[in-house]
Amino acid sequence: MLELNAAQIQMQQRAPDKQAALRSLADTLVADGLVMPGYLAGMQAREAQGSTYLGQGIAIPHGTPDTRDQVISTGVRLMQFPSGVDWGNGQRVYLAIAIAARSDEHLQLLQMLTRALGEGDLSEALRDAPDAEALVALLRGAPQELALDSQLVGLGLVAEDADDLAWQGIRLLKKAGCGGPGFAAGLLREPPLPLGDGLWLLHGEEGVGRPGLAFVTPETPLQHDAQPLAGLFCLASRGEAQRQTLERLCDLLIEGRGREFSQATSSRSVLEALGGELPVDWPSRRIVLANAHGLHARPAKVLSELAQSFDGDVRVRLPGDPGRGVSAKSLSRLLALGARRGQELEFIAEPSIAGDALPAVEAAVRAGLGEEVEPLPETPFAPPPIIEARVSLAAEVSPPLAPAAGARIQAVAAAPGIAIGPALVRVPLKMDFPQRGQGLAAERQRLAQALDEVVAQIQALVERSSEASIREIFITHQAMLRDPALHEDVGVRLDEGLSAEAAWIGEIEATAQRQEALHDALLAERAADLRDIGRRVLGHLLGVEAPVEPEQPYILVMDEVAPSDVASLDRDRVAGILTARGGATAHSAIIARALGIPAVVGAGEAVLALAPNTPLLLDGERGTLRVAPDAQAVEIARRQREASLQRQARADAERLQPAVTLDGRAVEVAANLGDTADSAAAVEQGAEGVGLLRTELVFMQHASAPDQASQEIEYRRALDALDGRPLVVRTLDVGGDKPLPYWPLPAEENPFLGLRGIRLSLQRPEVLETQLRALFASAEGRPLRVMFPMVGFVEEWRAARDMALRLREEIPVADLQLGIMVEVPSAALLAPVLAREVDFFSIGTNDLTQYALAIDRGHPTLSAQADGLHPAVLRLIQMTVEAAHAHGKWVGVCGELAGDTHAVPVLVGLGVDELSVSARSIALVKARVRELDFARSQLFAQQALNLESAAAVRALVEEHF
């Protein structure tokens, strides 16, 4: 465990800003031999993921899991900043505790600090502390809350004698983190103190991790010092924490209520008597938090001030947490809850004030606690509440009736290919169950059996998974299921009379929420795993099983598929993907294309009601779904698949030939790349150049902005592989929905309409300048095309161009063209002006479509309509091409539309000179161009421009090609 002491503290430090403070802290860690210099990047990245501000003027900067290898030895270094450092979000830090930790030690420190910070505000005291000792005393001396909950009560324990019983109390305290090394010896050194009524008290201060009180009773009465021993209190004491509880205990004993302890049969009655658990009759209210950034400093402050205005206890806890929750009057405790938007909070108030306090709190929380809040969706994404009801097997979403056998559904083509197979429908299951069990033994047995069976099920998955990464996930799940600590904690809940389901899922949810509240990415991932196994076991207990995977390759049907879901699919088992929602430019669709899994998206909710194993036929090129197709349809599809495989084979054979229409117009077909390592493979797949190098991936692969030399390595690698073919590089396009961890940006209401692309680059010109230098230096006479993303104003283009031209004076480039991406409608509309100045345009149809049709490209339900073949988008493309050609400039298309075989005839007909597509699509796109007659395509494109919708354009293409 990390310890704090005066030698680690540097007093009276100054830092103009957070970055400077981080650098000083990192320098100290390096100088003291705790970390290597690379750790600073991890600290910066961690702040970019989420501020490490803890509350009360304290921040605890630390590295990310990626930079743990930079830690030489675990330790902490503290700096006091009496003038304060702005830590973002209006938070001022007077004490920064830099942590070098190889594992999760810093979480213990964080826990200790959040608990150590008292109800009052320490920040002024930290700022004014005269010396290091005073600072440590402040941190150590702050009142801590006494741990006292059901896990610290053990009733009717089998114990041979007083020592044996004492050890059991010690064990409970240790498990709760109250006792460290030396604690047990210290506690047992002093003789126990008789309290009367057979009750005794043991207490110790040595090795106390945090203060706590355990109470244990023996199964059969014992003797100590020739007196009865019916119950033993074991106190891990620290400071003032236990004062209130001990006073209360003395009062109870004086009142002659000692038997409530010595004869206690339930931990709840013990806790209620001692004030360790809230009396059941305290009124409560559950309210869902809607603040965009959760219960952060500002709203928490408003809430704590409101709670302080009541003359009585107002507490708040996360549902499922069996403890007392935290005082709503304490800012630091509220912050340590880590509650996010959508999180349900349970407010509990003392009966004397509840009538006023709870409505006032509810009104304030709903009104946003001083912030403007977006109302939450109907179903909050908070963890599902535990519902006391009968078992119901209904799906959480109640979709309309499943499409009938033979139905043909037109949806959105997301990844080409024809897939035939049984449906495996994955929808979240609703699982209701009674809270109270049928007896301890029976519930324990049910749970044990369910756990064994789930472990065995997972073992089968481990054995079947060919991908190592997937196997590892399942092995971790098995380890979690066997975790003895988890079993013990669930056991405590079972002891309280809960059903196996309620005890199990209650503990899982409480643990997951505690982990999430610590704001650590790694722990948050573990929380997701925990919930995953939680649901599995719960489903098993209720007989609500996750669907069994069919033996043969199946079609995965889901509401929406996250990119990580797609990336982790077993490609040998998943023949195709069908989703109820989503669009073609969603990331999951892009990944499905890259993996070569046919996918149809946005097919509507009805598909979620398909019966397991319903035969499905997907056409990922046309975006169609056939439900339970008849033999003839399957036969046709098989033939089509055969034909398309043959077409692919023919196209592959000619992939290195140019793409020239029947009447002699050449269209360049290039590759879209994110990783320069793929350049050589792209050339091998027929690329005549790289038409879009998305350099943000180059930046994302580094923990901090890559310097010129490391960027040069990347760009040279691409240029070398291209061997004289052109490289079109897009300068860094981050911001908005594509954050860079080390480039923190303020949160925006509408990131797609915010600070992204060139707008951001012009605000940080040094980054753009370094990138341009690296590009120019690596060109070495080879054809380099540089384009700027998201240009919407002529001034943006000119500022970027001027910078490039100035740098070109310094670093001559023989073959350079400068252009812009046309992604914003204003750029297309202004193309006649821009075309006078640029060397080329490259049309980013993904963004151009989203902005022209005002549909967020990632929108779960609307993005299916964001089709780049919409005539409105086609008109913008036409304007761009006409303007460019009028000035002798070339135009490419590098959005997903360029690789859509339905769109190729239209784009070629509109006069587009270059199509830049994913490497996998190059051969087919080239083959498609070769089938076209340019003159005919031109007429055809004119026809398309005059249609009314994307669907009409697609129908026209189907008819003619």
Residues of this chain that interact with ligand PEP (CB under 6 A) are: 692, 694, 823, 844-847, 894-895
Give the integer Cα–Cα distance in Å for 26 and 697: 27
Q: Are 361 and 347 in contact (CB under 8 A)?
A: yes
How far apart are CB 917 and ligand PEP at their closest, in Å?
A: 11
Q: Which of 535, 540, 446 is nearest to 498 (CA)?
A: 446
Q: Which does 894 bind (CB under 5 to 8 A by kind): Mg ion, ligand PEP, none?
A: ligand PEP
Q: Which is nearer to ligand PEP, 696 or 839 (CB)?
A: 696
905 near Mg ion (CB under 5 A):
no
Q: Which does 620 bind (CB under 5 to 8 A by kind): Mg ion, ligand PEP, none?
A: none
Q: Are 86 and 184 in contact (CB under 8 A)?
A: no
Q: Which is nearer to Mg ion, 796 or 823 (CB)?
A: 823
Q: Which of 106, 203, 224, 296 is catalytic?
A: 296
Give the integer Cα–Cα distance in Å for 961 and 957: 6
Q: Which is nearer to Mg ion, 617 or 787 (CB)?
A: 787
Task: Round the CA-based radius of gyration of the chain to a whole number and report it.
Answer: 33
Residue burial 885-908, b: 16+ Cβ < 10 Å; e: rest: eeeebbbbbbbbbbbbbbbbbbbb
Q: Which of 203, 234, 477, 894 is catalytic?
A: 894
Q: Which is nearer to ligand PEP, 506 or 726 (CB)?
A: 726
Give the integer Cα–Cα distance in Å for 447 and 494: 10
How far apart are CB 57 and ligand PEP at their closest, in Å?
A: 41
Give the integer Cα–Cα distance in Å for 30 and 485: 37
Q: Which does 321 bind (CB under 5 to 8 A by kind): ligand PEP, Mg ion, none?
A: none
Give the integer Cα–Cα distance in Å for 65 and 46: 9
Q: Coil, strand, or helix at residue 935?
A: helix
Give the integer Cα–Cα distance in Å for 154 and 169: 8
With 0-12 / 13-18 / 19 or more C-beta atoms within 10 angstroms meaning exposed / middle / buried, residue 859 is: middle
Give catalytic status of residue 296 as yes or no. Answer: yes
Give the integer Cα–Cα distance in Å for 618 and 555: 8
- Residue, CB closest to Mg ion: 847
How far apart are CB 895 and ligand PEP at their closest, in Å?
A: 3
Give catalytic status of residue 902 as yes or no. Answer: no
Q: Which is nearer to Mg ion, 267 or 849 (CB)?
A: 849
Give catalytic status of residue 894 as yes or no. Answer: yes
Q: Which does 845 bind (CB under 5 to 8 A by kind): ligand PEP, Mg ion, none?
A: ligand PEP
Give catalytic status of residue 540 as yes or no. Answer: no
How far apart are CB 847 and Mg ion at their closest, in Å?
A: 4
Query: Edge-to-edge strands of the sheet including 574-579?
Result: 408-410, 624-627, 615-619, 418-426, 554-558, 574-579, 599-601, 412-415
| Pairing relationship of beta strands 615-619 and 418-426 according to DSSP bridges | antiparallel
Give me the DSSP letters along 565-629: HHHT--TTTEEEEEESS--TTSHHHHHHHHHT--EEE---GGGGGPPTT-EEEEETTTTEEEES-
Q: Which of 62, 519, 870, 902 is catalytic?
A: 62
Which residues, numbered 796-855, are part of the site for Mg ion (CB under 5 A)? 823, 844, 847
How far apart are CB 775 and Mg ion at their closest, in Å?
A: 19
Query: Edge-to-edge strands of the sheet including 153-157?
Result: 153-157, 212-218, 231-236, 199-204, 193-196
Q: Which of 487, 587, 702, 887 is catalytic?
A: 587
Query: 214 - beta bridge partners?
Result: 234
How far apart are CB 671 and ligand PEP at their closest, in Å?
A: 12
Q: Which is nearer to ligand PEP, 94 or 851 (CB)?
A: 851
Q: Which does 694 bind (CB under 5 to 8 A by kind): Mg ion, ligand PEP, none?
A: ligand PEP
How far apart are CB 757 and Mg ion at their closest, in Å?
A: 7
How far apart are CB 47 and ligand PEP at their closest, in Å?
A: 26
Q: Which does 895 bind (CB under 5 to 8 A by kind): Mg ion, ligand PEP, none?
A: ligand PEP
Q: Which does 796 bind (CB under 5 to 8 A by kind): Mg ion, ligand PEP, none?
A: none
Q: Which is nearer to ligand PEP, 501 or 847 (CB)?
A: 847
Q: Which of 694, 837, 715 is nearest to 784 (CA)?
A: 715
Q: Which does 621 bind (CB under 5 to 8 A by kind): Mg ion, ligand PEP, none?
A: none
Instruction: Name the residues that contact Mg ion, by CB under 5 A.
Output: 823, 844, 847
Q: Which residues are catalytic?
A: 62, 296, 587, 894
